[in-house]
A and B are shown apart, each in its own frame.
Chain A
Amino acid sequence: MSSIIEIQGVSKSYGGVVANKDISLSVETGGITGLIGPNGSGKTTLFNSIVGYHPIDEGSIKFENEEISRFPVQKIARRGLLRTFQQTRIYGAMNCVENMLISLPHRKMKFLDSFSLNNKSDYEKANRLLEFVGLYEKRLLKAASLSFGQQKLLEFAMALMNEPAALLLDEPTAGINPTLINGLIDRLVRANREFGITLFIIEHNMRVIMNMADKIYCLAHGEMLAQGSPDDIQNDPRVIEAYLGAH
């Protein structure tokens, strides 16, 4: 199996705080990979490094065999590597459909294409994906009026609209009503299987990530603590220790 994201020896500090230290991992093409770890263990920092949000201090990050660690955010996004934010970011003043249309993949567009109106198939695609995440009924409402969980779903749908090759999700189920979580898991898995999007997911909810991921990495204090299949991770005494120790 080939890997779509390949990280070698990545370190990142904020002033004195070492948020990531010598991290190496790989995300398999077409799979679902999990990233867990206690609060403050450096998960979001690693995502930010991958998508070019900040420069890394050391190491190498490859996406589809291309070194991207010095690319700016937009360029990486246009390569087809996308992320959602832990603090959900949607366009509150626009309605759901408009949020979706904004998210059309610019990597597949020429600049001159932006001087045209959205066509029928753009609207159809937006509606189809809103339907997919269960927001079709709300599509003409301003995004700001949606509940927190619905905003997360919208952000997920916007990412799908962009047709990424790989999608980094930062705690997709956080703050979502527990009764809706199973539905969300189902959609994540379908996005992976049906749309062929590689997923790399930070998740605090063990039940969720153990059910979905093929492979899990666990960070603690900025370092790689353990890696393996969900079963390995679940039974790894160091992981149990890290979680118990953190609480």
Chain B
Amino acid sequence: MKNNKSILYGILLAFILIAPFAFPDFRTQLATLWLMIIVAMTWDMTGGQMGYNSLGNIVFYGTGMYVAAIITIALAYDVGGYTNAFGGGVYKFTDQQYFLGMFLGLIGAGLFCAASAVIIGYVTFGLRGPYFAIGTLGVAIAAGELVSNWEWVGGGQGIALPVYPGDLDNGKLLFYFLFAFTGVVLFIFLKWLYATRFGAAINAIRDDEEKAEAMGIHTLRYKLTTWAMSAFFIGIVGGISAFQLIHFEPLETAYQTINLGIFMVVCVLLGGKGTLWGPIIGAILFHVFKEVTWNYFLGWQWVALGALIVVTVVYFQDGVMGYLAHRKPEWFGVRVDENKAEVSQ
């Protein structure tokens, strides 16, 4: 069993490494798929594992973009001057400025978003159920509006970052691997986290928060930490997206509440909430569905998407993983390590 798993993971990893070379025309597509997988996994940390359905996680994606961009620019130029001269050609970046900016920008984006999550969470985690969902959505909408009125960061125009210095195909490869690396790290991290006491505690918060409090669990601390870890990864992929897209603007790209902000929730519902693989499977299904409808049913794509959401929510609430767990419980086994449970015998 253990061997089978290692083989499976080995094959997956090989596929991840080979895919962009095997399908060179689809590098950007594959990178976007990773983005979907990552935001779905991070959404599930709070939404699926902890029972707090945020509709505002996009705020960390947008903020990650801006923080990464501003750090990169600030390393070389005055930010206000740079954003003012939108598209002006006088601002050149050396390779070193570009890559150092990217490196520090991504880390800074992750840390800044994690800190923001703690601050926002301190207020919003007082809300429960639909109030939390709407409260977080409000935060995301407000953040988009604020940023789009903030001239120093380019206002409604957004920011244009330097283009990848070098062959564009290599650039696509770089972005693919940045996303893929983040995704693999996130997967390994979550696989471990969900097995720890921490994972059990956030599940307890989801299943009965009052009981968890009555047992003395530091509920707020767990909630803030979970959201901060989630925001850390979203911030990083926001930053990667900023470099990949080159130009982004606040409302349609960065704080895109009704696109990516909702898509990440749909991915998780489709694949199965509160499971390790659900968000991944959901993101893949969703991405394929979206690409097919956007390419072949243009004009009707939003209708098709809406229908998908309705069908999922009404008939298929537990998603693919929930369906499988119901139909084939033996695949999921007993959730406790049998050997350890036996020790007292």
Contact = CB atoms under 8 A, between A and B. Distances in A.
A106 B334 contact: no
Interface residues of B, number: 32
Interface stretch (A60-68, A111-119, A220-228, A229-237): A111-119
Contacts of A120: 340, 343
Interface in B192-243: 193, 195-198, 200-201, 203-204, 207-208, 210-219, 221-222
Interface residues of A, number: 42
A77 interface: yes
A90 B204 CA distance: 10
A139 interface: yes
Interface in B166-201: 193, 195-198, 200-201
A106 B214 contact: no
B341 A106 contact: no
Nearest to B211: A89
B344 interface: yes
A98 B196 contact: no
Majority SS at the chain B contact face = helix
Given A97-B341, A116-B196, A74 B219 contact: yes
A118 B221 CA distance: 20
> Could you say which of B193, B201, B217 has the most chain A C-beta atoms within 10 Å of its C-beta?
B217
Interface of B: 193, 195-198, 200-201, 203-204, 207-208, 210-219, 221-222, 334-338, 340-341, 343-344
Interface of A: 51, 72-74, 77-78, 82-83, 85, 89-95, 97-98, 101-107, 111, 113-118, 120, 123-124, 127-128, 131, 139-140, 158, 162
22 contacts: A73-B213, A77-B213, A83-B214, A91-B207, A92-B207, A94-B200, A94-B203, A94-B207, A97-B341, A101-B197, A102-B217, A104-B197, A105-B216, A107-B216, A113-B197, A114-B196, A115-B198, A116-B196, A123-B341, A124-B344, A139-B341, A162-B216
